[in-house]
């Protein structure tokens, strides 16, 4: 099943999991292999992070993937195109949560 999304990405279903793009689906498969090989651990998809400033909820950021690699927490997003909204959320995310978002392009 493939649905047309904005920015020319297509929603795809792999192993009964829905992904927002082919890039995201491909990276999920790669990350699963890395986890099976013991290179990464605690792999998760679509992790929600609240973006709050001074107790006020501004919005939320949904990471495509999170995992542990060499004891380091990684927050990753598969993006073919960086929207102004994503750039703003990435800056807020770093300021609030202290992590850079790893971009998969």
* CATH assignment at residue 30: 3.40.1350
Read off the pLDDT of residues 1-45 as tens digits, 9 standing for 90 and up: 444 455 556 788 887 888 888 889 999 999 999 999 999 999 999
Query: 60: which residues sit within 8 A by CB, 6+ positions away?
Result: 48, 49, 50, 51
CA angle 89, 91, 96 (to 5 degrees): 90
How far apart CA 2 and CA 81 sit, in angstroms, is 19
pTM of the prediction? 0.83
How far apart CA 28 and CA 45 sit, in angstroms, is 8
Domain count, the chain: 1
CA dihedral (97, 98, 104, 105) positive or negative: positive
By residue range, what is the domain housing residue 67?
2-104
């Amino acid at each position: 099943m493939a649905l047309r999304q904005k920015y020319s990405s297509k929603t795809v279903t792999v192993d009964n999991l829905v992904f927002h793009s082919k890039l995201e689906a491909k990276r999920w498969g790669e990350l699963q292999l890395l986890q099976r090989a013991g290179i990464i651990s605690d792999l998760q998809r679509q992790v929600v992070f609240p973006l709050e400033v001074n107790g006020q909820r501004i919005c939320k950021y949904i990471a495509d993937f999170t995992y542990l690699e060499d004891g380091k927490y990684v927050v990753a997003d598969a993006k073919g195109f960086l929207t102004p909204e994503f750039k703003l959320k990435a800056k807020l995310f770093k300021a609030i949560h202290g992590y850079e978002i790893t971009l998969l392009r």
